Structure 1
Amino acid sequence: MTTTHYTGEERRKRIFAIVGASSGNLVEWFDFYIYAFFALYFAPAFFPSQDPTVQLVQSAGVFAAGFLMRPIGGWLFGRVADRYGRRTSMMISVLMMCAGSLVIAFLPTYQSIGLAAPLLLLLARMFQGLSVGGEYGTTATYMSEVALRGQRGFFASFQYVTLIGGQLLAVLVVVILQQLFDKQELMAWGWRIPFVIGALAAFISLLLRRSLEETSTAQTRADKDAGSLKSLFTHHSLAFVTVLGYTAGGSLIFYTFTTYMQKYLVNTAKMSTETASFVMTGALFVYMCMQPLFGALSDRIGRRNSMLWFGALGALCTVPILMALKTVTSPYIAFALITLALAIVSFYTSISGLVKAEMFPPQVRALGVGLSYAVANAIFGGSAEFVALSLKSAGNENAFYWYVTVMMVIAFLFSFRLPRQAAYLHHDH
Structure 2
Amino acid sequence: MTTDAGVIAQTLPGRVSVKMSFAERRRQLMAACIGSLLEYYDFIVYAFLAPTIARNFFPSESEAAGLLASFAAFGVGFLARPLGGIVIGRIGDKQGRKVALLLTIFGMAIGTIAIGLLPTYATIGVAAPILLVVMRLIQGLAAGGEWGGATAFIIESAPEGRRGLFGGIGQASIASSYLLSTIVIAVIAETFTPDQMQDWGWRIPFLLGGVLLPVGIYMRRNIKETPAFIEAQRAPKSHTVDDFESPLVLLGKAIGFTVVWTVCYYIMLSYMPTFLTKHAGVSQTQALWCNAIALMVLVMTMPFFGWWSDRIGRKPLLLVCCLAFVILPYPLFSIILSGPSLVTIVAIQIVFNVFIAAFSGAGPAALSELFQTHSRTTLMSTGYSVAVAIFGGFAPFIATWLISTTGSPISPTYYLIFSAVVSGIVISSFRETAHEKLL
**TM superposition score normalised by structure 2:** 0.86
2-structure distance, mates of 1:114, 1:421: 54
Alignment check: 8 A CA contact 2:71 2:394 kept: no
Q: Is the 8 A contact 2:48 2:270 kept in 1?
A: no
What is aligned with 2:109?
98
Deviation at 1:111, TM superposition (A): 5.3
Instruction: Specify the alignment match of 1:59 in structure 2.
Output: 70
Q: Residue 233 of structure 1: CA displacement?
A: 11
1:312 aligned to which of 319, 323, 344: 323
Query: Within the alignment, does 1:202 sit opposite 2:234 as a pair?
Result: no
Contact 1:310 1:347 in 2 (8 A): yes
**Aligned position for 1:415:** 427
Q: Residues 410 and 186 of structure 1: is their aligned pair in 2 closer, same or farther, counting only changes over 3 Å?
A: closer
- Residues 191-340 of structure 1: pairs in structure 2 closer than 5 A: 191-215=202-226, 216-217=228-229, 220=232, 235-340=246-351
Indicate which of 344, 347, 352 corresponds to 1:341.
352
Q: Matched residues in 2 for 1:203 and 1:405: separation? A: 40
Q: Does 1:129 align with 2:140?
A: yes
Contact map agreement 2:68 2:401 (CA 8 A) in 1:
no
Percent of aligned positions that are identical: 30
1:166 alignment counterpart: 177
Matched, 1:88 2:99: yes
User: Do the aligned residues in 2 keep the contact of 1:302 with 1:421 (CA within 8 Å)?
Assistant: yes
- What CA deviation, in whole Å up to 9, does each residue of 1:131-174 have, x standing for no partner? 11110111111111011222221111122211121112112222
User: What is residue 159 of structure 2 aligned with on the other side?
Assistant: 148
CA distance in 2, matches of 1:302, 1:6: 26
Counterparts of 1:140 and 1:60 in 2: how far apart (Å)?
27
CA distance in 2, matches of 1:38, 1:366: 31
1:3 touches 1:149 (CA, 8 Å); kept in 2? no
On the 8 A contact 2:164/2:364 being kept in 1, the answer is no
Distance change in 2, residues 1:193/1:407 (3 Å): closer
* CA displacement at 1:251 relative to structure 2: 1.6
Instruction: Please give the per-residue CA displacement for 1:251-273, whole angstroms capped at 9, x wherever unaligned.
Output: 22232322222233333333333
Cα-to-partner distance string for 1:160-204 (whole Å, 9 max, x where unaligned): 211121112112222332344334444443333322221122111
Cα contact 1:328–1:334 (8 A) shared by 2: no
Question: Match of 1:260, as an amino acid?
Answer: Y
State the 1:49 CA deviation.
5.6
Structure 2 unaligned spans of 5+: 9-19
Deviates more, 1:59-68 or 1:14-23: 59-68
CA distance in 1 between partners of 2:56 and 2:244 (Å): 45
* More displaced 10-residue stretch of structure 1: 327-336 or 188-197: 188-197
* Pairing of 1:350-365 with structure 2 (within 5 A): 350-365=361-376
CA distance in 2, matches of 1:243, 1:64: 20
Instruction: Give how far 1:4 is off.
Output: 8.2
d(CA) in 2 for partners of 1:42 and 1:391?
21
State how far apart, in whole Å, the 2-side matches of 1:47 and 1:265 are: 22
Q: Is the 8 A contact 1:94 1:205 kept in 2?
A: yes
Q: Quick check: 1:424 aligned with 2:431?
A: no
Cα deviation, 1:372-428, whole Å, max 9, x if unaligned, reads 1111111111232233333323135555434422432332222222222323115xx
Shift of residue 371, structure 1, vs aligned partner? 0.9
Aligned equivalents of 2:340 and 2:293: distance in 1? 17
Moved more, 411-420 or 151-160: 411-420
Q: Which moved more, 1:396-405 or 1:251-260?
A: 396-405
How far 1:278 sits from its partner (Å)? 2.3
- State the 4+ residue runs in structure 1 displaced beyond 6 angstroms: 1-5, 222-225, 231-234
- Determine the C-alpha separation between the residues in 2 that align with 1:339 and 1:390: 26
1:212 deviates by 0.8
Alignment check: 8 A CA contact 1:23 1:205 kept: yes
Could you say if the C-alpha distance between residues 120 and 233 of structure 1 is closer, same or farther in structure 2, counting changes exceeding 3 Å?
A: farther
Counterpart Cα distance in 2 of 1:365 and 1:143: 12
In the alignment, the residues of structure 2 paired with residue 249 and residue 233 of structure 1 have an alpha-carbon distance, to the nearest angstrom, of 27
Secondary structure of the corresponding residue to residue 375 of structure 2: helix
Cα distance, 1:348 vs structure 2: 1.1
Three-state SS of the structure 2 residue aligned to 1:258 is: helix
User: Which amino acid in structure 2 is aligned with residue 357 of structure 1?
Assistant: S
- Equivalent pair of 2:182/2:289 in contact (CA under 8 Å): no
Equivalence for 1:120: 131
Structure 1: segments with no counterpart, 5+ residues:
226-230
The answer on 1:21 being equivalent to 2:10 is: no
Instruction: Name the residue aligned to 2:6.
Output: 6
Residue 3 and residue 255 in structure 1: after superposition, are their counterparts in 2 closer, same or farther (change >3 A)? farther
- Match runs of 1:337-416 below 5 Å: 337-393=348-404, 394-416=406-428
Determine the C-alpha separation between the residues in 1 that align with 2:346 and 2:4: 40
CA gap of 1:79–1:297, structure 2 versus 1, over 3 A, is same
Q: Which moved more, 1:384-393 or 1:112-121?
A: 112-121
Q: 1:334 to 1:62 in 2, by over 3 A?
A: same
Contact 2:369 2:433 in 1 (8 A): no
Residues 223 and 363 of structure 1 are in contact (CA less than 8 Å); yes or no, is this contact kept in structure 2? no
